[in-house]
Chain A
Amino acid sequence: MTMMTGAQIFVESLLRENVEYLFGIPGGVVIPVFDALFDSPLKVILTRHEQGATHAADGYARATGKVGVCLVTSGPGACNTVTGLATANMDSIPIVVFTGQVPTPMIGNDAFQESDIVGITRPITKHNFLVRNARDLARIIKEAFYIASTGRPGPVLVDLPKDVAVTETEYVPVSEVTIRGYKPVLDGHVKQIKKAAELINASKKAVIYAGGGVILAGAAKELVQLAHKTRLPVTTSLLGLGGFPADDKLFLGMPGMHGTRFANYALSECDLIVAVGTRFDDRVTGNIKEFAVHAKIIHIDVDPTAISKNVRVDVPIVGDAANILAKLIPLVTRTDNGNWLKQIEDWKAQYPLTYKDSDKEIKPQYVVEQIYEATKGEAIITTEVGQNQMWAAHYYKFKSPRSFLSSGGLGTMGYGLPAAIGAQLGRPDKVVFDIAGDGSIQMNIQELATAVHNRLPINVAILNNHFLGMVRQWQELFHNRRYSSTCLLNNPDFVKIAEAYGAKGMRIRKKKDVRPAIEEAIKTPLPVILDFEVAREENVYPMVPVGAGIHQMIGGLA
Chain B
Amino acid sequence: MKHTISVLVENQFGVLARISGLFSGRGFNIDSLSVGETEDPTVSRITLVVKGDDMIIEQVIKQLNRLVDVIKVSDLTKDDFIDSELALIKIPCDGKTRSEIMQIVDIYRGRIVDVALRSLTVELSGSEENVRGIMDLLQEFGKLEVVRSGKIAISRDRKNTRGNNHK
What is the interface residue range for chain A against chain B? 10 to 19
Residues of A within 8 Å of B163, CB to CB, are 180
Who on chain B is nearest to A119 by CB? B17
Closest to B14 in A: A118
Kindly state the separation between the CA atoms of A180 and B10 in the bound complex, as whole angstroms.
9
A308 in contact (CB, < 8 A): yes
Q: Give the interface segment out of B59-67, B91-99, B151-159.
A: B59-67
Report yes or no: A303 in contact with B66, Cβ–Cβ below 8 A. Answer: yes
Q: Looking at the complex, which of A122-130, A389-397, A432-440 is the stretch in contact with chain B?
A: A122-130
| Contacts A123-B21, A180-B163, A181-B9 given; does A305 touch B62 at CB 8 Å | yes
Q: Is A360 an interface residue (CB 8 A)?
A: no
The yes or no answer to B18 lying at the interface (CB within 8 A) is yes
Is A183's CB within 8 Å of the partner chain B? yes
Do B21 and A181 have beta carbons less than 8 Å apart? no
Contact A305 B14 (CB under 8 A): no
In the complex, are the beta carbons of A181 and B55 less than 8 A apart? no
The reply on B167 being an interface residue by CB < 8 A is yes
Nearest CB of B to A94, in Å: 14
Would you call A304 an interface residue if the criterion is a C-beta within 8 Å of the partner chain's C-beta atoms? yes
> Which of A118, A123, A182, A308 makes the CB contact (< 8 A) with B25?
A123
Interface residues on B, range: 20 to 34
A303 contact set on B, CB distance < 8 A: 66
**Among residues 269 to 323 in chain A, which have CB atoms less than 8 Å away from a CB atom of chain B?**
303-305, 308-309
B106 sits at the interface (CB 8 A): no
Asked if B70 CB lies within 8 Å of chain A CBs, one says yes
Annotate B56-76 by CB proximity to A: 1 below 8 A, 0 otherwise.
001100110111111100000
Query: Can you name the residue of chain B whose Cβ is closest to the Cβ of A156?
Result: B68
A126 to B18, CA, bound (A): 11
Task: Give Cα A122–Cα B25 distance, bound, in whole angstroms.
Answer: 11
Does A550 sit at the interface, judged by CB under 8 A? Answer: no
Q: What is the chain B residue whose CB lies nearest that of A318?
A: B62
In the complex, per-residue mask of B92-121: 1 if CB is within 8 Å of any chain A CB, else 0: 000000000000000000000000000000
Task: Give the most central of A147, A179, A181, A183: most B CB within 10 Å.
Answer: A181
CA distance A181 to B66 in the complex (A): 8
Q: 1/0 per position for A115-146, CB-CB distance to B under 8 A?
A: 00011001100110010000000000000000
Q: Are B68 and A305 in contact (CB under 8 A)?
A: no
Which of these, A119, A123, A181, A308, contacts B68 with CB under 8 Å? A181
Cα-based distance from A123 to B22 in the complex (angstroms): 8
Q: In the docked arrangement, what's the CA distance between A504 and B69, Å?
A: 50
B66 touches A122 (CB 8 A): no
The chain A residue sitting closest to B70, CB to CB, is A181
CB of B55 within 8 A of CB of A147, answer: no
Contact of A181 among B58, B63, B71 (CB under 8 A): B71
User: Is B143 part of the binding interface, using a Cβ–Cβ cutoff of 8 Å?
Assistant: no
Q: List 17 A-B contacts (CB under 8 A).
A: A118-B14, A119-B17, A126-B68, A130-B13, A147-B68, A179-B68, A180-B10, A181-B9, A181-B10, A181-B69, A181-B71, A181-B167, A304-B65, A304-B66, A305-B59, A305-B63, A305-B66
Closest 6 CB pairs of A and B: A305-B62, A127-B68, A181-B71, A182-B68, A304-B62, A181-B70
